[in-house]
Structure 1
Amino acid sequence: MNDDAKPWPIKDTPNTHGMFMLGTTTLYLCHMPMFGMEDHLYQMTLQVRLDPASMSTYLADKAQHPGSPYNLTNLERDSFTLPQVACGQVRQYVAAIYRDYSNEGGGTPGTQIVGEATVFVERVVVYRAFDQNIPRPANLTYVLFGDGKEAHLDHYIAVDPDFQHLLTLPAVPEWLDVTQLQAGVLVSFPQPSTPIGCTPPVTPGAHTVQFQGLAGAAVPLTVGTTFWYSTGNSLNAVDPCGARQAAESAISNEVAQ
């Protein structure tokens, strides 16, 4: 242990929290974690609903931009801690909704489509504080969850460095009970969890995964198109793909000119 290391601030402080939006039949929010900040040292997925006007705007906009990531961030005047949400102390808050998101500047939202949406927290699907003493799974692991009409995958984030990967499946797996899907389960792909790459490690198409890592529970899973993959957004202390992303951005700007 480095005696000169800065003491870690154990107590969370109320803050703003960016969360990616998944789903249309039921809305889920996936928190954007950061290994370097106590306030964001969590992987968290919420099942929520929005006020009718905001939900209608989101659905209409998403229908026009099906490949875009959507992000929801609580307003500063409505700051909170994630443990408060987990304990049920925060059940409603006001947030802005954005279409598209960039890794630039540690994370930059795109076009605002709703300035003040009321978010109603219905339940917590995933709540896990990171522990750097607990190793990452040996195989590539995801949280599989949904409402029975839609199903989603959220990469199991473990230790720095890591990545956030979110996608919606083209079909709900028939081998899983709806209640289990609603509660969320773990599935692991055959490939190892490292090294951390700069592109999604799971490609669209048919795969065989292990339910809860059990060798005797190999099941089929069809993966669709990724709508968010990132090693940035201040998730890691140092973005392992930062230089590559900057170079690709520069090339894209040159082509555009």
Structure 2
Amino acid sequence: MSSTSDHTHGNEHIHRFLILGKKKLFFYHLALYNPQSGHDYQAVFSFTIKDNGELREMYLKDRAQHEDERVFYSLRCPHHFELPELQQGKEFSVHLERVVVQQDGSRKFEQMTTSETAVSCKKEDVLSFRKLGNLDYPEYLTYLLFGEGDEVHIAHQLAKRPNWDEVVTIAPSQSIDVAMLKKVPTFVIESIKDAHDKLIESPLKKNQQYQGKINGNGATVDFTVGRQGWWNHTSLNS
């Protein structure tokens, strides 16, 4: 097993996609604000992993062993390509990584697979795709909402820099329309003002209940905060 330290993520011109969910897997691009990095995109995907479920099984088994720890999982692309190519459909190869958050807050990326796995991205798998920049800080805490069934995820909307990148799985008190989730709408939590800066820990506390509005003025959804699937306030802003 090979590993890289957190700072390497900012220097490599390769892409990583966070893995979210258990039943239906979603993939979230790990962004960096620096336009020279090639990673200045916030994007959500639903890829197809072409390996008869072996990588998925490895991910689920390892996650079960670290469910209550700050351990995340990602797909690392060892071969460079420009991220917008995915919008036209593309096949590429990946390694599965375990991302361990250490006591000082830094992250260690541990490669779990020994051989590359093929992944297919169709045009319809690109659920949300936006280049960073030209988005003002919102008044209230704002996330992107996506998922399927009882597995719903929210990713902090990356507005101005500096900021923080976070993905959390939530448990809504009522079902959310499948078609709406596929649109990846914004999800506004009016009880919390946006920090207009980077934070070093989440404003959403695990197991606590909050209320959000879809697209800021749509349906109101009560939810409970579950497992954190990603956090970055450091290399994101470098």
Do both share a fold (TM > 0.5)?
yes
Q: Give the C-alpha shift of residue 182 in structure 1.
A: 2.8
Q: How does 1:119-130 map to 2 (within 5 A)?
A: 119-122=119-122, 123-130=125-132
Q: Give the C-alpha shift of residue 152 in structure 1.
A: 0.8
* Counterpart residue number, 1:192: 193
* Counterpart residue number, 1:111: 110
Q: Partner of 2:180: helix, strand, or coil? A: helix
Q: Give the C-alpha shift of residue 46 in structure 1.
A: 0.9
Q: Deviations over 1:129-154 (max 9, x none)?
A: 112x3312111101111122411111
- Label 1:103 to 1:95 Cα distance change in 2 as closer, same or farther (>3 A): farther
Q: Deviations over 1:174-218 (max 9, x none)?
A: 25212212332211112111143211011121111122111x643
* Counterpart residue number, 1:30: 28
Q: Give the C-alpha shift of residue 108 in structure 1.
A: 5.2
Identify the match of residue 222 of structure 1 among 221, 224, 231: 224
Q: Deviations over 1:7-66 (max 9, x none)?
A: xxxxxxx94101211111111111111111341111011111322222221122112222
- 2:62 corresponds to 1:61: yes
* Counterpart residue number, 1:203: 205
Is contact 2:144-2:185 (8 Å) kept?
yes
Q: Distance in 1 between matches of 2:61 and 2:159?
A: 35
* Counterpart residue number, 1:100: 99
Q: Partner of 1:224: helix, strand, or coil? A: strand
- Label 1:93 to 1:196 Cα distance change in 2 as closer, same or farther (>3 A): same
Letter in 2 for 1:222: T
- 2:167 corresponds to 1:166: yes
* Counterpart residue number, 1:250: none
Is contact 2:172-2:221 (8 Å) kept?
no
Unaligned runs of 5+ in 2: 1-11
Is contact 1:15-1:81 (8 Å) kept?
no
Q: Aligned pair count?
A: 214
- Label 1:74 to 1:109 Cα distance change in 2 as closer, same or farther (>3 A): farther
Unaligned runs of 5+ in 1: 1-13, 238-257
- 2:40 corresponds to 1:41: yes
Q: Partner of 2:159: helix, strand, or coil? A: coil
Q: Distance in 2 between matches of 1:161 and 1:47?
A: 28
Q: Deviations over 1:156-175 (max 9, x none)?
A: 01121011111112x35525
User: Larger radius of gyration, structure 1 or 2?
Assistant: 1
* Counterpart residue number, 1:142: 143
Q: Which moved more, 1:157-166 or 1:32-41?
A: 32-41
TM-score w.r.t. length of structure 2: 0.81
Letter in 1 for 2:43: M
Q: Distance in 2 between matches of 1:134 and 1:185?
A: 15
Q: Distance in 2 between matches of 1:135 and 1:103?
A: 32
Is contact 2:174-2:222 (8 Å) kept?
no
Is contact 1:86-1:124 (8 Å) kept?
yes
Q: Partner of 2:237: helix, strand, or coil? A: coil
* Counterpart residue number, 2:16: 18
Is contact 1:148-1:172 (8 Å) kept?
no
Q: Partner of 2:23: helix, strand, or coil? A: coil
